[in-house]
Structure 1
Amino acid sequence: MTLETKADSPASSPIQWDPQSTELRDAFGDFLNAFEQFKDANDDRLSQIEKRMSADVVTADKVERINTAMDEQKRRMDDLLLKSRRPGRDGAPAIGASLTELEHKQAWDGYMRRGDTMELRSLELKALSRQSDPDGGYLVPTETEAEIARIMSEASPIRAIADVRQVSGASLKKPIATTGAQAGWVGEADTRPETSAPVLSEVEFPTMELYAMPAATQSLLDDSAVNIEEWLASEVQIAFAEQEGSAFVTGDGIRKPRGFLAYDSVADDSWSWGRLGYLPSGADGAFHASNPQDALVDLVYALKAGYRANAHWVMNRTTQGEIRKFKDADGNYLWQPGLAAGQPATLLNFAITEAEDMPDIASDATALAFGDFRRGYLVVDRLGVRTLRDPYTRKPYVLFYTTKRVGGGVQNFEAIKLMKFATS
């Protein structure tokens, strides 16, 4: 009998109305309407500043209230988008899955629901390998691992724009050319002097252990209608995404990935390999009072042309709320909402990635980053996600100690630039 899913149900099945997608469209419409109200209120505020050198308190408060409301609407829209992308297979195996994968999936389901390890151990003996240790948990099925990775790429902001590699070992060692090969012009009969070779440096990205421990009741596990794989993936993605998001931005590299803000930074005029270059905002702990948008334009063009095509802004919501008020010389707002639900807002036509672990605007804070993170930052995932079932520690709940190994760090120091909120 053919298995049916939401994606491959018979043509005769009635089309189901999806309230989630309707709610998402309504939320996006409300967000766009709020932005129009924000522009009107901010235009009034700027007009009052031009006429009276200051804005009315009521008008300024209205701008901030709408600005905050837009942030809340965007957060709600992001949550709805994640929920709408959850799978609806109700535990069905992937089409084209091998017999071994199906056996592993069935055995793992028995382990998760009842704590039965016999089938998993039997599969290990068949494969003449011991990929999992009963004391350290069992590897989740490939499909579940892929689902966790998919959700993570949507929920973890830096992972979504960075270069992601998978390894089977404890770390990834990557040779990087810190200087390119030299070349020169010669005549047809001139001698060809030897040119210097590129300078290579080996950089190692170790993987660190990241864990989550969701809990379930035995009644939930006994319910055959509950998709255990989907439940586990949705539970761990929250914990994993929060920890990753912080580590990829500010992590110190000790038992966690090294964030791009943890590297040394230097004024862009004095940039050298191994450090990130920054441009000053022009004021201590703020944008320059006159023409604040000029610092943003300067930051864009501080990045080499080859990196700008796939560049992203990275900032938190507070910084974005401040930049949302900026206009160009023609009176056009620099910040623009996405064209559809799920698409990022843009600044100077470059996509914005919201990372709440970025610092707020403050004295000497590097609260704004711009660059090609696909070439600049590397995320390393070690293959395999393990789960250990623990029905004893917090009875009557069953804990699922789930671990994965992940590392990260800057791989190209030219591809990312920072803005430091200082005068120099």
Structure 2
Amino acid sequence: MNKILELRGRRNTLWEQTKAFLEEHRGENGLVASDAVEQYDRMAQEVKDLGTEIERLEQQAQVDAQLAAPTSRPVSGKPMIMTEERAATKTGTKEYTEAFWNMIRNRGNYGEVHNALSVGEDSEGGFTVPDEFERKLVEALEGNNIFRGMATVIRTSSGTRKIPIAEDTGEASWIDEGEEIPESDTTFGQTMLSAYKLGTMIKISNELLNDSAFDLASYIARRFGVRMGNAEERAFITGDGVGKPLGLLDDAGAKIGVTAAKTTAISFDEVFQLYYALKAPYRKKAEFLCSEALVLQLMTIKDNNGNYIWKPGLDIGKPDTLLNRPLKTSAFMPEVAAGNKVMAFGDYSYYWIADRQNRTFRRLNELYARTDQVGFLTTQRVDGKLILPEAVQVLRMKAGA
């Protein structure tokens, strides 16, 4: 914790020095002297790198706290009496969990292990992961996918989920005493969330599998979390809806709020216009989203009063801000180039992610036997869609000639 506070202090001090350096080398025409641009870029990059390191340390602290938390709850009822919740979750039992990890490590009697896992066997020969490990996998996914933390995540046991959408709210009318009140019904539409399949595979040596000191669950969660999280976030932002979720930036997703006047640079007026292109009710929880490359450009922009619109987060857990709203970055937001949608601003809770329970594992014994390794394959079914397009506005660069 002290390290995080120290880095935040260093970052804030460096940012103030960077702003001062910029002003010292700004000419009468308002432009920065060419011989100072390279030095400024280095200073600005260091500010950004410190921010990345702070985020990494905060994520580590969060994971440490989660792993240190109790893994079970104290018994509060009579022994041998299962609550409705526990009875309904067959994959949450101690027997199932032990059998699952015995299967992963290839231990125990095959018949006994297979029988214990039969309640979680899927149609393709894999096994549903235990409930506790499911939560760890979800935490790993969220740690490598910032978009999950901003969106609304729902769980569904069916392949398709219908979501009713109110397309208008109707209206009230002023009437004279004794007059009939006119009808004004709300019109409803619906959107569909499916269950697209996402999968990946890793190899683990038999030496590691047989090492009881090796934290296999955490290792698998981290490896799969990075791969699945990256694939999810790319789809949630830029997916075309063909075999994958429909991304935020698809033409059927967020609305174009502003088109920049240039192909590779944006101005304060355009960021300001994007802010007010979003309706006021959505601005209460709205956040900016862009690439890290664009952040370096945003750091140089001032408002009409000469104040920088980008400000570093000073408190632990607080993000950087733009126009006093949180600013998040993603490696999957498009680069600043002609015609690209480079920045989004909105309430991302209207992007719904549907997880079809549960994720499944399969052990592949023979595929890598020649190298004394075992393959593990995991799959999940997930979909995502912005169910209310007006809740997010985007800034698009001017199209090229």
SS of structure 1 residue aligned to 2:249: helix
Shift of 1:52: 5.1
2:254 and 2:394 in contact (8 A); partners too: no
| Equivalent residues in 2 for 1:12-411, closer than 5 Å | 21-45=1-25, 47-48=26-27, 51=28, 54-87=31-64, 89=67, 93-96=71-74, 101-114=93-106, 116=108, 117-124=110-117, 130-133=119-122, 135-195=124-184, 197-264=185-252, 276-287=255-266, 292-375=267-350, 377-394=351-368, 395-411=371-387
Residues in 2 aligned to 1:410 and 1:26: alpha-carbon distance in whole angstroms: 39
Residues in 2 aligned to 1:204 and 1:55: alpha-carbon distance in whole angstroms: 51
Residues in 1 aligned to 2:270 and 2:398: alpha-carbon distance in whole angstroms: 11
Shift of 1:319: 0.8
1:180 and 1:199 in contact (8 A); partners too: yes
Which moves more between the two structures, 180-189 or 362-371? 180-189
Counterpart amino acid of residue 46 in structure 2: A
Normalising by structure 2, what TM-score?
A: 0.87
Shift of 1:71: 2.7
Residues in 1 aligned to 2:362 and 2:70: alpha-carbon distance in whole angstroms: 23
Change in CA separation of 1:374 and 1:134 when aligned onto 2, cut-off 3 Å: closer
Shift of 1:346: 0.6
Residues in 1 aligned to 2:272 and 2:357: alpha-carbon distance in whole angstroms: 41
Counterpart amino acid of residue 160 in structure 1: G
1:41 and 1:62 in contact (8 A); partners too: no
Shift of 1:275: 6.4
2:254 and 2:391 in contact (8 A); partners too: no
- Give me the identity figure in percent: 25
Residues in 2 aligned to 1:34 and 1:396: alpha-carbon distance in whole angstroms: 51
After superposition, give the CA deviation of every residue in 1:153-197 in whole Å (9 maximum; x if it has no partner): 2321221111111111112111111122232111221122222x2
1:282 and 1:423 in contact (8 A); partners too: no
RMSD after superposition: 2.5
Counterpart amino acid of residue 241 in structure 1: G
Segments of 5+ residues of structure 2 without an aligned counterpart are 76-85
2:165 and 2:189 in contact (8 A); partners too: yes
Shift of 1:249: 0.8
Residues in 1 aligned to 2:251 and 2:36: alpha-carbon distance in whole angstroms: 41
Change in CA separation of 1:192 and 1:133 when aligned onto 2, cut-off 3 Å: closer
After superposition, give the CA deviation of every residue in 1:135-163 in whole Å (9 maximum; x if it has no partner): 53211111111111123223212211111
1:91 and 1:229 in contact (8 A); partners too: no
Residues in 2 aligned to 1:372 and 1:342: alpha-carbon distance in whole angstroms: 19
Shift of 1:336: 0.9
**Which of 383, 398, 401 does residue 422 from structure 1 map onto?**
398
Which residue is 1:3 aligned to? none
Counterpart amino acid of residue 104 in structure 1: Y
SS of structure 2 residue aligned to 1:321: helix
SS of structure 1 residue aligned to 2:167: strand
User: How many aligned positions are there?
Assistant: 382
Normalising by structure 1, what TM-score?
A: 0.83
Shift of 1:89: 4.8
Counterpart amino acid of residue 386 in structure 1: T
Counterpart amino acid of residue 115 in structure 2: S
SS of structure 1 residue aligned to 2:301: coil
Residues in 2 aligned to 1:92 and 1:113: alpha-carbon distance in whole angstroms: 24
Shift of 1:296: 1.3
Counterpart amino acid of residue 129 in structure 2: V
Counterpart amino acid of residue 109 in structure 1: W
Change in CA separation of 1:221 and 1:95 when aligned onto 2, cut-off 3 Å: farther
Counterpart amino acid of residue 265 in structure 2: A
Change in CA separation of 1:70 and 1:192 when aligned onto 2, cut-off 3 Å: same
1:44 and 1:59 in contact (8 A); partners too: no
Change in CA separation of 1:80 and 1:366 when aligned onto 2, cut-off 3 Å: same
